[in-house]
């Protein structure tokens, strides 16, 4: 077994047995479920809205090259600069080059999964540049030296008491502070960072081809401060985030808000179309958009898996997944966890190292049911499993085991010959460990239904 898969199973066993962790997650996801139920009421016909969104993303991905070039032309026309990065290392080096050219010592960063994907914070730190998270959840995780736990709510696994203790330990505050007081402490700490930073970095929820714009969605205003105070604004975004037209936001913004947090619309929705123009009084003097591949074209060339590029990163599939709710986000040891992470990570980081994620699913289909753009996630998990077998990433022992199982199940005579005693012995001998200590092994009857039927009816 690959070491990454072995670590995943070990962490899963630990987290699944942590009842405190499970209680916190279920409480937070329960609040999310209630909010989403109300948010969906804004749609006159939700099924049609989801189908339209899927069709728009289908068109965007099928003509991805044309839309990206259209975005680049329109963005450059307004004074912006576009950089293409094929790998995470290239993206890191491009950002570092900009920072060094500006003599940058401090960066403020709005919440961005793309920057988490390339481990930007630690990379900048090795070059003597401070990179401060300004989203409250991300700031909490940075203080605790942990990666995000969830795509939308990075500190979902922490209770308010956990956060109070963390602030007391790291910032010297009173451990009895309320959530409102803790928020004010974070606000006070971060305000000076906005003023000191030479560069602001954000991700993008959407990049808009026909206007050459970047759309950013948030609830705290930190992205607006990140892009307003520093003189340079850098956007790091995956190439799959493109949508054809600015009019498409009228559909995608409400869908993202409803399925992400249960709101009708998020508190702050910003569109950036380049640096500050001559007739404008605020905004950055320079704006860069780094279009990152980092394995996305691997997904693009797989005509079945390509559908996963429709994802708008709302996180709803994580909240619906029974596996995620029991093992949590950190167990996956990847940037993108839950069902969508299990689908795309093997393509982004290698099937040989991460194929186990696609097998860590009950295939209940709940992820597909809740996806706002109707990605067939459970079918894509099966597709990854098939690829792992076809590309010979499964072990020889596993292949032999399935061969024996196939032969046995293909022959009624062999099934009847292997009575309950032998079946129980075989199961205890070879499957006890993978079955887990928390579940009782099934007991096979001495005689099969087929044998009992023959005896009864002669």
Give the tens place of pLDDT for each residue, 48-88: 999 999 999 999 999 999 999 999 999 999 999 999 999 99
In this structure, the answer to whether residues 120 and 16 fall within a common structural domain is no
Taking Cα atoms as reference points, which of 157, 189, 163, 187 lies closest to residue 176?
Answer: 163
Cβ contacts of 81 within 8 Å, gap of 6 or more: 286, 287, 288, 289
Q: Per-residue pLDDT tens for 169-221?
A: 999 999 999 999 999 999 999 999 999 999 999 999 999 999 999 999 999 99
Asked if 126 and 266 sit in the same domain, the reply is yes
- Average pLDDT score over residue span 107-116: 96
What is the tens place of the pLDDT at every residue in 303-340? 999 999 999 999 999 999 999 999 999 999 999 999 99
Tell me, yes or no, whether 418 and 452 share the same domain.
yes
Inside any domain, residue 163: yes
- Number of independent structural domains in the chain: 3
- Looking at every residue in the chain, the average pLDDT score rounds to 93
Query: What pLDDT is recorded for position 1?
Result: 60
- Find residue 200's DSSP bridge partners: 108, 233
Nearest to 319 by CA among 359, 257, 355, 371: 371
Q: Do 223 and 238 fall within a single domain?
A: yes
pLDDT at position 42 is: 96
Q: Where are the alpha helices (DSSP H) in 134-235?
A: 136-143, 160-171, 179-196, 222-228
| Of the residues 254, 276, 294, the one at which a domain ends | 294
pLDDT at 419: 67
Say if residue 273 is in the same domain as residue 158.
yes
Domain containing residue 225 = 43-294
Edge-to-edge strands, sheet with 206-208: 242-243, 206-208, 213-218, 268-272
Give per-residue pLDDT as tens, 405-442.
Answer: 788 778 877 777 766 777 788 777 777 777 767 778 88
On whether residue 104 sits in a domain, the answer given is yes
239 and 272 both lie in a single domain: yes
305: in domain: no
Average pLDDT over residues 98-120: 97
* 208 and 265 assigned to the same domain: yes
- On whether residue 367 sits in a domain, the answer given is yes
Q: Is residue 82 part of a domain?
A: yes
Question: Of 394, 419, 443, which residue is a domain's last?
Answer: 394
Helix boundaries (H) for 17-118? 19-39, 46-62, 64-77, 88-101, 113-117
Structural domain contains residue 308: no
* Percent of the residues in the chain that have a pLDDT greater than 70, as a whole number: 99
Average pLDDT (341-356) is: 95
Backbone angles phi, psi at 242, to 5 degrees: -75, 145
Query: How confident is the model at residue 279, as a pLDDT?
Result: 87
Instruction: Please state, in angstroms and as integers, the Cα–Cα distance from residue 293 to each residue in 42, 305, 341, 347, following that order.
Output: 35, 16, 16, 12
pLDDT in tens, 261-304: 999 999 999 999 999 998 888 889 999 999 999 999 999 999 99
Cβ burial, residue 54 (10 Å; 0-12/13-18/19+): middle
Same-domain check for residues 220 and 286? yes
Could you tell me if 264 and 361 lie in one domain? no
Does one domain contain both 3 and 126? no
> Residue 83 pairs with which residues in a beta bridge?
290
In terms of domains, do 374 and 441 share one? Answer: no
177 within some domain:
yes
Supply 137's token pair: 């959840």
| 281 within some domain | yes
Mean pLDDT (whole number) for 156-164: 94
CATH of the domain at 174: 3.40.50.10420
- How high is the pLDDT of residue 418? 67
The dihedral sign for the CA sequence 411, 443, 7, 113: positive
Residue 1 and residue 115 in one domain? no
Domain end marker among 377, 394, 411: 394
């Amino acid at each position: 077994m690959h070491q990454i898969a072995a670590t995943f199973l070990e962490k899963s066993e630990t987290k699944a047995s942590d009842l405190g962790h499970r209680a916190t997650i279920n409480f937070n996801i329960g609040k999310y479920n209630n909010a989403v139920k109300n948010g969906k009421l804004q749609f006159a016909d939700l099924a049609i809205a989801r189908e339209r969104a899927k069709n728009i993303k289908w068109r965007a991905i099928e003509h991805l090259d044309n839309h990206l070039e259209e975005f680049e032309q329109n963005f450059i026309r307004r004074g912006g600069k576009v950089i293409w990065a094929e790998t995470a290392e290239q993206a890191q080096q491009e950002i570092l080059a900009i920072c060094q050219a500006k003599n940058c010592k401090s960066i403020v960063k709005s919440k961005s999964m793309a920057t988490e994907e390339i481990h930007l914070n630690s990379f900048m730190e090795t070059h003597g540049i401070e990179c401060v998270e300004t989203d409250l959840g991300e700031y909490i995780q940075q203080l605790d030296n942990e990666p995000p736990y969830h795509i939308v709510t990075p500190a979902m696994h922490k209770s308010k008491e956990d956060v109070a203790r963390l602030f007391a330990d790291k910032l010297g505050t009173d451990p009895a502070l309320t959530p409102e007081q803790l928020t004010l402490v974070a606000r006070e700490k971060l305000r000076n960072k906005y003023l000191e930073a030479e560069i602001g970095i954000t991700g993008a929820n959407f990049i808009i081809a026909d206007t050459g714009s970047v759309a950013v969605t948030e609830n705290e205003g930190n992205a607006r401060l990140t892009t307003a105070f520093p003189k340079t604004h850098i956007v790091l975004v995956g190439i799959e985030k493109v949508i054809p037209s600015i009019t498409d936001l009228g559909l995608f913004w409400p869908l993202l808000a409803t399925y992400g947090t249960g709101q009708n619309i998020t508190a702050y929705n910003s569109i950036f179309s380049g640096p500050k123009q001559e007739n404008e009084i605020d905004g950055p003097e320079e704006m860069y958009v780094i279009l990152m591949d980092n394995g996305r074209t691997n997904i693009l060339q797989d005509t079945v898996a390509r559908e996963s590029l429709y994802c708008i990163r709302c996180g709803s599939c994580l909240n619906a997944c029974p596996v995620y709710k029991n093992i949590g986000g950190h167990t996956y040891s990847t940037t993108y966890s839950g069902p969508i992470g299990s689908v795309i990570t093997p393509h982004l980081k290698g099937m040989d190292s991460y194929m186990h994620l696609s097998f860590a699913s009950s295939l209940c289909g709940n992820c597909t049911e809740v996806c706002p753009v109707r990605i067939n996630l459970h079918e894509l998990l099966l597709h990854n499993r098939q690829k792992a077998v076809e590309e010979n990433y499964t072990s020889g022992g596993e292949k032999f085991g399935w061969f024996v199982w196939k032969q046995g199940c293909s022959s009624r005579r062999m099934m009847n010959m292997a009575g309950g005693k032998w079946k129980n012995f075989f199961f205890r001998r070879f499957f006890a460990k993978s079955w887990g200590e928390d579940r009782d092994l099934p007991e096979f009857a001495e005689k099969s239904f087929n044998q009992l039927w023959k005896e009864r009816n002669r």
